[in-house]
């Protein structure tokens, strides 16, 4: 009985994570410039893969596997948004400007 419940919870986490990963992929394809694409990839991609890690932690019947899955989720949660921010800052410094529909450009003040 408990294994069935854990299987359903893990399945739900995987489906929701896949939906967020799909949203990240659609965002990468449809958004207008590098910065909005990077935002979609870093935020929703992180959440999608994090939910997959949590599904692994839920379904694993081994404590060490669950601990490694949670450590991977935590590592990904801490590093992906920071690296996306630094890449966006480097892209702006290299000359990639936001699209014309961008209303507020906070980086313009740094020049």
Give the tens place of pLDDT for each residue, 32-85.
999 999 988 899 999 999 999 999 999 998 899 999 999 999 999 899 989 999
CA dihedral (104, 107, 110, 111) in degrees, to 10, reads -90
Whether 106 is covered by a domain: the verdict is: no
Whether 102 is covered by a domain: the verdict is: no
Residue 110's pLDDT band, with cuts at 50, 70 and 90, is: low
Provide the number of structural domains found in the chain.
1
Whether 105 is covered by a domain: the verdict is: no
Greatest CA separation for the chain = 62
pTM (whole model) above 0.85: no
* Structural domain boundaries enclosing 43: 2-96
Quick one: pLDDT at residue 67? 95
């Amino acid at each position: 009985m408990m294994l069935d419940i854990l299987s359903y919870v893990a399945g739900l986490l995987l489906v929701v994570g896949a939906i967020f990963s799909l949203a990240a992929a659609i965002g990468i394809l449809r958004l207008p410039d590098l910065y909005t694409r990077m935002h979609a990839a870093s935020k929703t991609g992180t959440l999608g893969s994090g939910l997959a890690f949590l599904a692994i932690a839920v379904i694993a019947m081994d404590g060490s596997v669950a601990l490694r899955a949670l450590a991977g989720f935590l590592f990904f949660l801490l590093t992906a948004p920071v690296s996306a921010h630094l890449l966006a800052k480097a892209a702006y410094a290299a000359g990639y400007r936001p699209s014309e529909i961008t209303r507020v450009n906070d980086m313009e003040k740094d020049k």
